Amino acid sequence: MTTATAPGKIILFGEHAAVYGQPAIALPLSDKQATVKVEDAADRITLLLPNLATSYVLESEPNSADGDVPLVAALRLAQAAANVAQLPPLTITVDSTIPIAGGMGSGAATAAALIRAVLQHLGISADNQLISSLTYEVERLHHGTPSGIDNTVVSTNQAVWFVKQAPENLIEPIVIGAPFRLLIADTGIRSATKDVVGDVRRQWQANSEYFDSLFGRCGRLARRARVALNAGNLLELGALMTLNHVQLRRMSVSSRELDDLVDNALKAGALGAKLSGAGRGGIMLALVDSEKEETVREALEETGATSIWHSEVAAG
């Protein structure tokens, strides 16, 4: 039996703008993760998705319908990378504690964990770069025009500075000068990244000057945030998060629920707050200190957050 995991992720700065080549910062979420188990089986290939109460029985060779299901596509990409024409009988079980369509990278993490587990099970050594690029292919099939930040952070399991660029994306580790804590609040509203990214693209096509200026502002905020993170300047970091939320609102990717959570977290003493991920649902982040954490949590609960998680980001 072979097991592999991949973490969820949060985007701290630069979602959407990342798709247009602006820098962004993402962090892995170690307490939310996808786990994939691969076992030899007697006579068939079964993909079990207990979180979705679904399973698939698959052929040993790829077929044209495989692309319809992201995790089947991930399996076929791993099969092609391993150069195996016929997969042996296997039982592949995908388990995840990352909410689906909630802004925490569930699709990327399950694909990355599956690709890693299958390649390992087939005896192929795969580095993070290969896992990331195969995961990107799955994202591309199902998310339209992803920047590449989600597959990068879930495959490297590291805080990253990410710039989409040709011929190769710029990916650098982020130095975190002082530990900080975040509250992550879920609106409970599911939102498909593909739809929101597609809608931003349509708006950008119709009004490119305005949208380019919003993306540029997000890029400048990300640059300042990297300096603040390096220096451990949490007051500055919080202020920059809130300014990033304002730009995301202007892009129309916020929602009343996200805005209320952000506003009430700030009123309750958060150092900064913003939506995170594609938006129009999913999650928001509040940067808190230990004194205000409980008050902010209560405010988020009262505002209607369906789940609230605490995440401690270590220095390093």
Residues forming contacts to ligand MEV in the complex (CB under 6 A) are 11, 15-16, 18-19, 146-147, 149-150, 193, 197, 277-278
Between 12 and 18, CB nearer to ligand MEV: 18
Between 193 and 254, CB nearer to ligand MEV: 193
Q: Least distance in Å: CB of 39 to ligand MEV?
A: 31
Between 15 and 257, CB nearer to ligand MEV: 15
In b/e form, how buried is each residue of 51-79, taking b as 16+ CB within 10 angstroms?
Answer: beeeeeebeeebeeebeebbbbbbbbbbb
Between 58 and 149, CB nearer to ligand MEV: 149
Distance CA 18, CA 149 (A): 8
Distance CA 148, CA 162 (A): 8
Q: Least distance in Å: CB of 18 to ligand MEV?
A: 4
**170: alpha, beta or left? (left if phi > 0; alpha if psi -120 to 50):** beta
Q: Least distance in Å: CB of 76 to ligand MEV?
A: 22
Nearest to 25 by CA among 142, 176, 144: 176
Between 136 and 180, CB nearer to ligand MEV: 136
Distance CA 118, CA 89 (A): 12
Between 35 and 193, CB nearer to ligand MEV: 193
Q: Least distance in Å: CB of 70 to ligand MEV?
A: 14
Distance CA 115, CA 155 (A): 10
Between 239 and 248, CB nearer to ligand MEV: 248
Is 150 designated active site? yes
Nearest to 285 by CA among 180, 134, 173, 182: 182
Q: Least distance in Å: CB of 278 to ligand MEV?
A: 4
**CA-based end-to-end distance of the chain:** 34
Q: Least distance in Å: CB of 193 to ligand MEV?
A: 5
Q: Dig out the tokens for 310 from the structure.
A: 């605490």
> Which one of the listed residues 150, 195, 259, 289 is annotated catalytic?
150
Distance CA 189, CA 240 (A): 25
Q: Least distance in Å: CB of 227 to ligand MEV?
A: 22
Instruction: Judge whether 35 and 5 are in contact, CB under 8 Å.
Output: yes
Nearest to 274 by CA among 311, 250, 242, 233: 242
Using alpha carbons only, give the angle 154, 188, 49 rounded to the nearest 5 degrees. 50
Using alpha carbons only, give the angle 104, 49, 86 rounded to the nearest 5 degrees. 110
Mind telling me the catalytic residues? 150
